[in-house]
C-alpha cells in the first residue's frame, strides 16, 4: 500500500536527527509534518520539542493503517507535543490547516519526507498560501532539489517559481540506501525560507512571464519572449530598452537570469 503512495521510509538515524535539528524548533512553534509514515522523523521532532515550551506538532498522513499507528504512538493526551493527526491528502489538507493558523496569526514551519510525485504540486500549494510558513525543511528527490535551488547559469522554471517566494538552500545529500525500501534515485534535504517580500496572493503576471521565458529553454530571451502577449505589443525600441534595463542582451539564455532580473522584467512588461 505504501509503495503505491510513492513513499520510501528514511531509516538513517543521522539524517533523521539532522532534519529535526534543521527545523530549529523554538518556543511556541507550530510544526506541520507531511507524510510522517511510522513516525521516524516525528520522534526526533518530538525530542527537539521536549526542550521547548508550548510547541505544537501537527501530522498529515494519507495511509490509513499508518494513521492508526501514529495515533497510538503520538496522539493526545500523550505528552508528545502532537496536537493533531489529520488523515488525507496533504495537498488538500494543508491549506485548510493553515487557514486555521492564519486566524490567530500563528507562524508555523513545515517538514517532511515528501513523496517524489507530489513535490512540484506541494511547492505550488505552499506558494499560493496567503499565510506562508516561516520555513520548510523537505527531503525530496536530489534532482528536484538541485533544480529548485539553481542559480544562473542554471536557472529554470521550477527555480523561478519557488524562488519567487522563498530563499532556497541545499543542506544535505541522502543516498538511496538510507531508505527502506530504497528508491531508484538519491535524495537531498532542502530548506525554503519564506521571503519578507513574498506576496500574499500569486502574481499572475509574474508566472505568465516565467512560463514565456522558460517555454523553450534552449532558445534565447528574445525568441521566447516573442510568444509573450505583453512583449509582442512592444516596439523594437521599447523592447531594447527593457533588455538594457534588466542587464541582458536579447541573445542571452533564460538560464542566465537572476530572480531579481525576472521580477524587474515582469514589472516593465506589465506595469510600464
Cell 521580477: give the residue: 263
What does the alpha-carbon distance between residue 141 and residue 158 come to, in Å, rounded to a whole number?
14
Of 75-79, 157-161, 176-180, 226-230, the poorest mean pLDDT is in: 75-79
- Write the pLDDT tens digit of every residue in 100-152: 999 999 999 999 999 889 999 999 999 999 999 999 999 999 999 999 999 99
CATH of domain 3-194: 3.40.50.150
Residue 227: other Cβ atoms inside 10 A:
14
Residues 6+ apart with CB under 8 A from 193: 134, 135, 166, 167, 168, 169
Per-domain residue ranges of the chain: 3-194, 204-271
For residue 212, count CB atoms less than 10 angstroms from its CB and return exposed for 0-12, middle for 13-18, buried for 19 or more.
Answer: buried
CATH topology of domain 204-271: Helicase, Ruva Protein; domain 3 (1.10.8)
Q: What are residue 68's phi and psi, to 5 degrees?
A: -60, -45
pLDDT in tens, 43-93: 999 999 988 999 999 999 999 999 999 999 987 655 578 889 999 999 999
Its pTM stands at 0.92
pLDDT for res 6: 55
In this predicted structure, the answer to whether residue 2 has a pLDDT above a threshold of 60 is no
Q: Is the pLDDT of residue 207 over 60?
A: yes
More confident residue, 223 or 81: 223
- d(Cα 19, Cα 21) in Å, to the nearest integer? 5
Amino acid at each position: 500500500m505504501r509503495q503505491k503512495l510513492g513513499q520510501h521510509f528514511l531509516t538513517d538515524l543521522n539524517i533523521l536527527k539532522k532534519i529535526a535539528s534543521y527545523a530549529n524548533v523554538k518556543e511556541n512553534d507550530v510544526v506541520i509534518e507531511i507524510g510522517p509514515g511510522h513516525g521516524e522523523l516525528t520522534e526526533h521532532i518530538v525530542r527537539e520539542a521536549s526542550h521547548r515550551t508550548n510547541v505544537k506538532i501537527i501530522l498529515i498522513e494519507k495511509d490509513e493503517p499508518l494513521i492508526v499507528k501514529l495515533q497510538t504512538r503520538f496522539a493526545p493526551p500523550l505528552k508528545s507535543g502532537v496536537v493533531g493527526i489529520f488523515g488525507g491528502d496533504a495537498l488538500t489538507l494543508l491549506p485548510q490547516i493553515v487557514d486555521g493558523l492564519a486566524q490567530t496569526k500563528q507562524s508555523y514551519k513545515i517538514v517532511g519526507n515528501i513523496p517524489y510525485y507530489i513535490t512540484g504540486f506541494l511547492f505550488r500549494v505552499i506558494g499560493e498560501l496567503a499565510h506562508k510558513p516561516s520555513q520548510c525543511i523537505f527531503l525530496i528527490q536530489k534532482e528536484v532539489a538541485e533544480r529548485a535551488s539553481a542559480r544562473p547559469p542554471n536557472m529554470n522554471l521550477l527555480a523561478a517559481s519557488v524562488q519567487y517566494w522563498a530563499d532556497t538552500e541545499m543542506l544535505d545529500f541522502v543516498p538511496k540506501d538510507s531508505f527502506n525500501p530504497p528508491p531508484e534515485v538519491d535524495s537531498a534535504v532542502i530548506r525554503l525560507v519564506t521571503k519578507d517580500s513574498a506576496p500574499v496572493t500569486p502574481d499572475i503576471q509574474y508566472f505568465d512571464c516565467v512560463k514565456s521565458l522558460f517555454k523553450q529553454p534552449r532558445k534565447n530571451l528574445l525568441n521566447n519572449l516573442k510568444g509573450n502577449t505583453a512583449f509582442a505589443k512592444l516596439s523594437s525600441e521599447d523592447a531594447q530598452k527593457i533588455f538594457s534595463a534588466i542587464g541582458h542582451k536579447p541573445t542571452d539564455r533564460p538560464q542566465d537570469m537572476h530572480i531579481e532580473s525576472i521580477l524587474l522584467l515582469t514589472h516593465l512588461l506589465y506595469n510600464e
